[in-house]
Amino acid sequence: MQSGGSYFERDAFANMLGVTLVQNQTDEVVVEMELDDAHMNGLGGVHGGVIFSLADIAFATACNQFHTAIGIQADIRYLNKAVGVKLIARARNISKSNKLSNFEILVTDEEQTKIACFTGLAYHLVRN
């Protein structure tokens, strides 16, 4: 069985971004990252690609907790501007079958403002 923690530890992109795994439980995966000037867009807000990447890392960690899976669809809705210097992404499985799992990831800032809602569909490559 592949654990989400070992998947996360091998994620070089998450490491490069400075993403931290805060919680890795069956019902919820939580990751976070500290923001700095390098994460900002031309208007001074957090770049949408940064927000998407954080949510995608939470999604990948969650869907690889118990079997090898790949994301086959993802979408995001940006809701509010982030305040502060930290983003948090919480991933939870909302449905699953033998081959597919649906996840919802909520990205918030340190004030608990909802920044984005990401949904992802994962295909199970190997069932362990």
Can you give the pTM of this predicted structure?
A: 0.92
Task: For 62-123, give the DSSP string.
Answer: HHTSSSEEEEEEEEEEE-S---SSEEEEEEEEEEE-SSEEEEEEEEEETT--EEEEEEEEEE
Pairwise CA distance, residues 20 & 28, whole Å: 15
Range with lowest mean pLDDT among 57-61, 65-69, 101-105? 65-69
Is the CB of residue 115 less than 8 Å from the CB of residue 83? no
Q: What are 82-95's pLDDT values in tens digits?
A: 999 999 999 999 99
Per residue in 1-50, pLDDT (tens digit) is 344 458 899 999 999 999 999 999 988 999 999 999 999 999 999 999 99
In this structure, what DSSP letter does residue 39 have? G
